[in-house]
Structure 1
Amino acid sequence: MIDSLMSVSTRNALSKLSETVGSGAAIAPATPAAGEASFGDVLSQLTGAVGDKLKAAEATSLSSMTGDVPTREVVSSVMEAEQSLQTAIAIRDKIVQAYLEISRMQI
């Protein structure tokens, strides 16, 4: 699911970031304290939750074709999935924007 949310430019920007940090840069990656989730784990959970909502909305809309699910429930499910997807896209855009801002900083 994460591949469908990330555009090519986003993947390129994130891969450049990981190459910069991994190539002996002075920045040491922060490790989370015991019991805390890392930023990557939080993003993984976010994309998983968005994927689950999209799958549920699709299943609900397919069930409505057979008449098993009322239209109101289909609309609610699709709207919730759309809102989750828009939130995930907004977060992705903010992450890319922050990376680009950091890459423009002079060292």
Structure 2
Amino acid sequence: MIDAISSFTTRVTGPGTSSSVSLENAPGAAATSGVAPTSFTEVLADVASNAVSTLKASEAAAISGVEGKASVQRVVEAIMNAEQSLQTVVAVRDKVVSAYQEISRMAI
């Protein structure tokens, strides 16, 4: 879970310039977009879309396993990937909620 989050590395090119985000080791990151996202919103959208596609793929693998078209190993691997993606999404959501609560407690 933390490995997926920590695989996102950011590099700021300097004050007043745009930052670039490298999605190294992120599963499916290069295959889906081809270009690294440049904003925090795009990174979150990319993470969410990757999680959704992983969950859909694991669901398809589970259905194939029930039908006898996929091996048990393939089904288990797909479900483990989906579980890891879901845990990553939940961890990011918890951090966003925590940050929002912290900001809302700040005195103006």
Point out the structure with max Rg over C-alpha: 1
Q: Which residue does the alignment assign to 1:104?
A: 105
Q: Is the 8 A contact 1:32 1:38 kept in 2?
A: no
Q: Which runs of 5+ in 2 are unaligned?
A: 1-15, 21-36
Structure 1 residue runs of 4+, over 4 Å off?
none
Of Structure 1 and Structure 2, the greater helix share is in: 1
**Count of aligned pairs:** 77
Q: Which residue does the alignment assign to 2:74?
A: 73
Confirm whether residue 64 of structure 1 aligns to residue 65 of structure 2: yes
Deviates further, 62-71 or 32-41 = 32-41
Q: Is the 8 A contact 1:56 1:77 kept in 2?
A: yes
CA RMSD of aligned residues (A): 1.9
Of Structure 1 and Structure 2, the greater strand share is in: 2
Q: Is the 8 A contact 2:58 2:79 kept in 1?
A: yes
Of 10, 18, 22 in structure 2, the residue corresponding to residue 33 of structure 1 is: 18
> What's the CA shift for 1:65?
1.6
TM-score (ref. length: structure 2): 0.65
Q: Which runs of 5+ in 1 are unaligned?
A: 1-30
Change (3 A) 1:62 1:102: same
Structure number with greater CO (CA < 8 Å, separation at least 6) is 1
Q: Which residue does the alignment assign to 1:8?
A: none
Q: Is the 8 A contact 2:58 2:75 kept in 1?
A: yes
Q: Which residue does the alignment assign to 1:14?
A: none
